[in-house]
Amino acid sequence: MDSIKKALTEKGKKAFVPYIMAGDGGLESLKEKLLFLQECGADAIEIGIPFSDPVADGPTIQKAGIRALSNGTTLRKVLENIQSFKTEISIPLILMTYLNPLVAYGIEKFAKDAANAGTSGCIIPDLPLEEEDFILPALEQHGISLIRLVTLTTPVERIKEIGSRATGFIYAVTVTGITGARNNFSGELATFLNSVKSVSPVPVLAGFGVSNAEQVREVCEHCDGVIVGSKIIDLFEKGDLAGIKQLVRTAEEVSLT
């Protein structure tokens, strides 16, 4: 069993994966945030790499990326930073980045350096299934899971194909659009999540638009856990650590009832 799948299933509860933007608030704050989220009970953490053209990200994450870039954050610096305290991290770390930074870094070197930093997975929103072959072997060689996304508009046959290749977990996008808080979800969401779960050999986690405890409970009824990004960034920016703790606990409460 791969390390991400194991971490998301071994506790027998719904999984909670928070997202943070590396370098937002200064790269020196990354360790503090990761250790805090780990202590709160996060099952894994998604770490965003700031990029100048983040096509999947909504306003909150875009602004966090701009702040991180203005602080001089780069992919190389993020990996070096994480490597300096990787022995203190006991849960999987998953990088969310776009293709351009990886190509500029060098695919083989990225995979090696990411593995050395203790990274378990990688999410690349602008990498189509048909173009995976130029990066997948390097990731697999270094034990890094490629986390694939499916959306409300993904055809059933394509969901099945993605499921057949899946490692770590499948990232089920809950909205037709970019990241960011939503007041409600499509009436088709439950059917969509159930259909993805029916063909997935790995956990199915839902993300994009999940921003409060009620939505965490609603989404977790139909999948194995949630990913929360924009709300986590907002709460960190406001210094509301208690709010973050409560969101993390919510996923566990769903599984216990």
Assign domain 3-256 to a CATH class.
alpha beta
Number of helices and strands (H, E) in the chain? 12, 8
C-alpha 23/C-alpha 50 separation (Å) is 8
Q: Has 57 been annotated as catalytic? A: yes
With residue 140 as reference, give the H or E element that holds it: helix 136-141
- pLDDT (tens place) for every residue of the chain, 257 residues total: 589 999 999 888 999 999 999 999 999 999 999 999 999 999 999 999 999 988 888 899 999 999 999 999 999 999 999 999 999 999 999 999 999 999 999 999 999 999 999 999 999 999 999 999 999 999 999 999 999 999 999 999 999 999 999 999 999 998 765 554 444 565 688 999 999 999 999 999 999 888 898 999 989 999 999 999 999 999 999 999 999 999 999 888 876 55
Supply the pTM of this predicted model.
Answer: 0.94
Q: Is 234 a catalytic residue?
A: no
Instruction: Select from 133, 140, 51 the least CA-distant residue to 96.
Output: 51
**Catalytic one among 24, 57, 218, 252?**
57
Report the C-alpha gap between 239 and 72 in whole angstroms. 23
Q: How many residues does the chain have?
A: 257
Name the residue among 175, 99, 162, 167 with its Cα closest to residue 134: 99
- 8-state DSSP, 20: E
Q: Determine which one of 24, 46, 113, 224 is catalytic.
A: 46
